[in-house]
Structure 1
């Protein structure tokens, strides 16, 4: 008959593995008992410097959308640009002569997607930024809601007024952010 010592060692090993996995799960999914109660009563310092209890929403730092169809994504260089619209192509050459009047001869598609002055009242800046990203998405993403010719036409039509530019920039932004 086998001695009870190896069985006891096996049982002890199984018990310690079981306890350590419970401890890991307890740490991963939340604490149990007095430790959890004490932690829930403690005030936390959030990333924005505000204080609140454990159930409060944490503070979030301001970040810009970086999905795979946004202007920030295209300006990051994470994916190659389509050959039909290279990074150094002038906006006026890509979108046409009406865009030349608004944006000049030197603004490139890459510079348009990199712009950070689109916050606030600059509807034309937001239009060229979101429109450039929408054009790149139309060339590269199947199922994008706009065709390339449609993006160009809509951008040119929106150059007639600040209000039209703001509305079309918002439409382009929504299409860019919802793109897969």
Structure 2
């Protein structure tokens, strides 16, 4: 009889684990292939934000222009009409270091509002973008730092 009860208990645990395949924890979605789960990757990249799978924060509307969000200094390197949505979906290779910078900065700014534990605050993202406009080397360096933070964010 005890054997039957233990089998039922194991079955119940297995059913509970299968039902909970999509678990929300601290606002993050985890998918469970089988019994082990892995964190969904790519939820902080520019590609993710440009796909519009998740609503952008109200503080950073998609149609806002780069210069209005990051400051007038951004007009030195980017056209005045460039929107954040366009910046997030821009082809980095065509635009060079400054293109990579604005693309990764846009994702970093959204993440700073949307992702708990993101390593940069919104004011830091804005300040670092403006400071990095001085040269292609500075832009490339900061774009790389933002890319690391965006790629490693959950």
* TM-score, L = length of structure 2: 0.72
Please give the alpha-carbon distance, in whole angstroms, between the structure 1 residues aligned to 2:76 and 2:97: 15
Instruction: Give 4+ residue runs of structure 1 displaced > 2 Å after superposition.
Output: none
From 160, 167, 173, the counterpart of 2:134: 160
Number of equivalenced pairs: 114
Q: Does residue 1:113 correspond to 2:88, yes or no?
A: yes
- Counterpart of 1:103 in 2: which secondary structure? coil
Match of 2:61 in 1: 86
- Counterpart of 1:122 in 2: which secondary structure? helix
**1:69-117 alpha-carbon deviations (Å, 9 max, x no partner):** 000000001000000110000000000011012102100000000011x
Please give the alpha-carbon distance, in whole angstroms, between the structure 2 residues aligned to 1:104 and 1:121: 12
Structure 2: stretches of 5+ with no match in the other structure: 1-40
Larger Rg: 1
From 103, 124, 130, the counterpart of 2:104: 130
**1:21-44 alpha-carbon deviations (Å, 9 max, x no partner):** xxxxxxxxxxxxxxxxxxxxxxxx
CA RMSD of aligned residues (A): 1.2
* TM-score, L = length of structure 1: 0.62
Q: Please identify which structure carries the higher strand content.
A: 2
Measure how far apart 1:119 and its partner are: 2.3
Within a 5 Å distance, the mapping from 1:7-156 to structure 2 comes to: 67-116=42-91, 118-119=92-93, 122-156=96-130
